[in-house]
Structure 1
Amino acid sequence: MTHTSDPHTDQLPAAISGFLAASVVHDADAAEAFLADDVVVVDKGEPFRGLQEVHAFVRDAGAEFDYTTEQVGAHRVDDEHWVVVLRLEGSFPGGVAELDYRFTLRDARVSELVIANHGA
């Protein structure tokens, strides 16, 4: 797996860039450092609540596939909300996906992440 950043990656809050870097390589322990205790991650409509469930999600999500991840966009909605667009290419069904990672921050940590198809 590889991760390619766009020029704006250095402008992301540390909690977001750190979480993304750790999650791309399924390093749940490193990702956990950027999460609020009551974090919620929603992927494909399924919620993962709290550090234990999100830890397992980061460790296991997509691990059965080989794929590359490229950040193709990012923008700040307001002080607490950011959207990062990732393009995945690999051995999963469909082979290509663009996903919006919609982050909510609280106290410099990720408190919520909703992963959805880009533009949905």
Structure 2
Amino acid sequence: MDDNQPRTITPDDLPEVITHYLNAHRAHDTATAITAFTSDATVIDDGNTYEGAEAIKEWLGRSATEFTYTIHLTNAQQTDATRYIATHHLEGNFPGGTIDLRYQFALRDSLIERLVIEP
């Protein structure tokens, strides 16, 4: 396996912390979702960077209420021992109405250290 080539895995093979975060985020459970991140984690979403637990908590709360949408996990990949990609299909009342987003996770000590969300 080439170190830089993601390989497809089943959603069940995603690390527990990623599944924990995705389920909490889908349920708009910010208090649970934030526990999946390291205290110094970084999230990049929609061109904005959120650093540290407080900024990520605010982002989680805002993203849960800004739009109404459904989200379905459509693909999962593992890039290396600590990096995973979970692709989601979203439909809702946001501009454009549908989009496929890649949630790119980097883990440290069984927690999410970095999350980049982009098409």
Q: Does the 8 Å contact 1:22/1:30 carry over to 2?
A: yes
| CA distance, structure 1, for counterparts of residue 98 and residue 41 of structure 2 | 28
Q: Which amino acid aligns with 1:95?
A: G
TM-score, normalised by the number of residues in structure 1 = 0.88
1:116 aligns to 2:118 (yes or no): yes
Partner deviation per Cα, 1:48-76 (whole Å, 9 max, x = no partner): 01000101111111523221000000100
Superposed CA RMSD: 1.3
| CA distance, structure 2, for counterparts of residue 81 and residue 53 of structure 1 | 22
User: Residue 94 of structure 1 aligns with which residue?
Assistant: 96
| Partner of residue 76 from structure 1, selected from 75, 78, 81 | 78
Q: Which amino acid aligns with 2:113?
A: S
| CA distance, structure 1, for counterparts of residue 106 and residue 85 of structure 2 | 9
Task: Please list every run of 5 or more consecutive structure 2 residues that lacks an aligned counterpart in the other structure.
Answer: 1-8
Name whichever structure is richer in helix by fraction.
2
1:43 positional shift = 0.4
Q: Which amino acid aligns with 2:17?
A: A
Which stretches of structure 1, 4 residues or longer, exceed 3 Å deviation after superposition? none
Q: Which amino acid aligns with 1:76?
A: Q
1:42 aligns to 2:50 (yes or no): no
| CA distance, structure 1, for counterparts of residue 101 and residue 80 of structure 2 | 20
User: Residue 4 of structure 2 aligns with which residue?
Assistant: none
Q: Map of 1:54-65 to 2, 5 A cutoff?
A: 54-65=56-67
1:104 positional shift = 0.2
| CA distance, structure 2, for counterparts of residue 55 and residue 108 of structure 1 | 19
SS at match of 1:52: helix
| CA distance, structure 2, for counterparts of residue 96 and residue 78 of structure 1 | 29
TM-score, normalised by the number of residues in structure 2 = 0.88
